[in-house]
């Protein structure tokens, strides 16, 4: 059984721990480099990406995260987590660091403000059983992807799910729906690489 960490600096950590456990992984919070070293994969939750990036610097996690990503750690980021995985950011804060990992340009807050948050059905390539429920909360979208990244879902003409090798990102929050198919998809990715 894969051990999957949830980056627990900020954001909806608990919801991801529950969804991962429901998708048959062993899930645990990760705050420190020693904890990061012990997991087979990592989820970066939704939350607020500028705060998350500041805390990653404060906790000495930025370089360890970049190193493990570079050495092939499977990672799944939702919303703020997608922003963290972008090689390039639009509408980010000036001092905002991302980890990178997917050759994509992500536009922060692209779907509008908090009160323009919404839910929509999203067809997800590789996931059976009908569309998944997308919860979009001040969500980013993917403006463009490089040749090695694969678009898995779009909504209203905008890319909202991307995979590049072992790294997966969604604009929306499957951890808030009780439907664990996207988490199960990620757990399968992790198992395939173990
Ligand atoms: N807008 C947030 C950010 O920039 C992301 C929102 C979310 O994770 N729900 O980090």
Structural tokens at position 53: 């990036």
CB 108 near ligand 1, within 6 Å: yes
16 has catalytic annotation? no
**Cα 115 to the chain's mean position, in Å?**
22
Q: Give the model confidence (pLDDT) of 156-177 as tens digits.
A: 999 999 999 999 999 999 999 9
Tell me the C-alpha distance between 66 and 145, whole Å. 20
pLDDT of 155 strictly over 80? yes
What is the atom index within ligand 1 of the atom nearest the CA of 52?
10
Q: Give the model confidence (pLDDT) of 107-135 as tens digits.
A: 999 998 777 899 999 999 999 999 999 99
What is the atom index within ligand 1 of the atom nearest the CA of 48?
10
173 has catalytic annotation? yes
175 has catalytic annotation? yes
- Is 72 marked as binding a ligand? no
* Residue 12 Cα to ligand 1 middle (Å): 11
CB 48 near ligand 1, within 6 Å: yes
Structural tokens at position 20: 């991962």
pLDDT at 112: 86
CB 110 near ligand 1, within 6 Å: no
Q: Give the model confidence (pLDDT) of 66-114 as tens digits.
A: 999 999 999 999 999 999 999 999 999 988 989 999 999 999 999 987 7
pLDDT at 95: 86
pLDDT at 142: 98
Q: Give the model confidence (pLDDT) of 31-71 as tens digits.
A: 999 999 999 999 999 999 999 999 999 999 999 999 999 99
- Is 4 marked as binding a ligand? no
pTM: 0.97
pLDDT at 46: 97
Complex ipTM value: 0.94
What number of other Cβ atoms are within 10 A of residue 167's Cβ? 24
């Amino acid at each position: 059984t894969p051990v999957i960490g949830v980056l627990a600096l900020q954001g909806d950590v608990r919801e991801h721990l529950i969804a991962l456990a429901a998708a048959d992984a062993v899930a645990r919070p990760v705050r420190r480099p020693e904890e990061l070293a012990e997991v087979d994969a990592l989820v970066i939750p939704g939350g607020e990406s500028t705060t998350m990036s500041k805390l990653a610097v404060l906790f000495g996690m930025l370089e360890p995260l970049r190193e493990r990503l570079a050495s092939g750690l499977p990672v799944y980021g939702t919303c703020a987590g997608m922003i963290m995985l972008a090689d390039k950011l639009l509408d980010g804060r000036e001092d905002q660091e991302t980890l990178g990992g997917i050759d994509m340009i992500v536009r922060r807050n692209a779907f509008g403000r908090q009160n323009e948050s919404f839910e929509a059905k999203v067809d997800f390539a590789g996931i059976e059983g009908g569309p998944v429920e997308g919860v979009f909360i001040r969500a980013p979208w993917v403006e463009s992807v490089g040749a090695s990244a694969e678009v898995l879902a779009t909504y209203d003409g905008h890319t909202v799910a991307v995979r590049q090798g072992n790294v997966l990102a969604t604009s929306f929050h499957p951890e808030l729906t009780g439907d664990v198919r996207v988490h199960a998809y990620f757990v399968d990715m992790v198992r395939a690489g173990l």
